[in-house]
Each structure stands twice: as C-alpha cells, then as structure tokens.
C-alpha cells in the first residue's frame, strides 16, 4: 500500500507539459476512478445503509446523465483552462456508448472525468476537492 501511495504522490508532481500531454481519455480513465471513490465516501459518511443500497445510490451519482448535469451547472464556475480540458475530453470519439446513456451526456461525462484526472495529476488537490464537493451539492439537490 505504501508503494501505491508513493506512486500517487509521484504522479501528482508531474510537470505541466507532461500532464497536458496525457490523452484526454486517459485523464478520464483515472478521473472516473477518483470520482467513484469520492462518491462512495460521500454516501458512506452521509448515510447508513446496506452495501447494495450504497451501490445503487452511487450509480445515480456517477452515471453519464448526472455528470453531464454537473458540467452544465458548473460551466460558469470553471476557469478557461478547466473548460478547455472538459472540451478536449468531450470531443474524443468514444469506442462505445453505454446503452442507457445519451451520446451528448456521455461526451460531457467524459469531459468531466478528464477534468477530475487533470486536476489530480496537476496536483491541484484543493480545486479538485472544490469541484467534487460542488458536484455533490448539485446532485444532492435533485
């Protein structure tokens, strides 16, 4: 586990040009995992329920439609740099689209996940936490 944590710290200290060279879908791949863990922790710290219920509720937060809602709601709060990352992720051609997701929602969700990955690798932990916290506020109001 210590090796894993050391690797995370190494990855977060990448230079700006190294992070900008990471393909958007790779940023989205790690962003998806980070957001999933954040959502699970959010649910566990907010409520007490069975694991199956946690899983069901987590799906409601991480599905493409929810992430697209986050992006559309946060748009005015994002910097130009953050919006650029979202657009790069959004504009990638997906290999597949989940059967229960609208294509545009899926693209915006990919952009959102790319932003999460980007903030993580840039070491912008405070901003990463702000974005994810705001995301929970947006989705909890539904």
**Residue positions annotated with a catalytic role:** 32
- Residue 108 and residue 86: Cα distance in Å, rounded? 7
- Residue 35 and residue 62: Cα distance in Å, rounded? 8
Q: Give the residue from 118, 127, 123, 113 showing the smallest Cα distance to 39.
A: 113
Q: Give the residue from 28, 109, 31 showing the smallest Cα distance to 63.
A: 109
What's the number of CA atoms in the CB half-sphere (13 Å) around residue 87? 8
Tokens linked to 110: 């990919």
């Amino acid at each position: 586990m210590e090796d894993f944590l050391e690797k995370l710290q190494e990855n977060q200290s990448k230079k700006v040009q190294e992070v900008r060279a990471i393909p958007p879908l790779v940023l989205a791949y790690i962003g998806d995992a980070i957001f999933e863990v954040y959502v699970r922790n959010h649910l566990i710290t907010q409520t007490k329920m069975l694991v199956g219920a946690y899983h069901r509720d987590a799906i409601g937060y991480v599905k493409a439609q929810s992430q697209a809602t986050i992006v559309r709601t946060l748009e005015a709060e994002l910097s130009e740099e953050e919006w650029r990352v979202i657009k790069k992720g959004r504009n990638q051609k997906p290999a597949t689209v989940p059967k229960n997701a609208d294509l545009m929602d899926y693209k915006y969700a990919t952009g959102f996940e790319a932003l999460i990955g980007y903030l993580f690798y840039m070491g912008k932990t405070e901003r990463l936490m702000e974005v994810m916290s705001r995301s929970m506020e947006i989705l909890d109001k539904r």
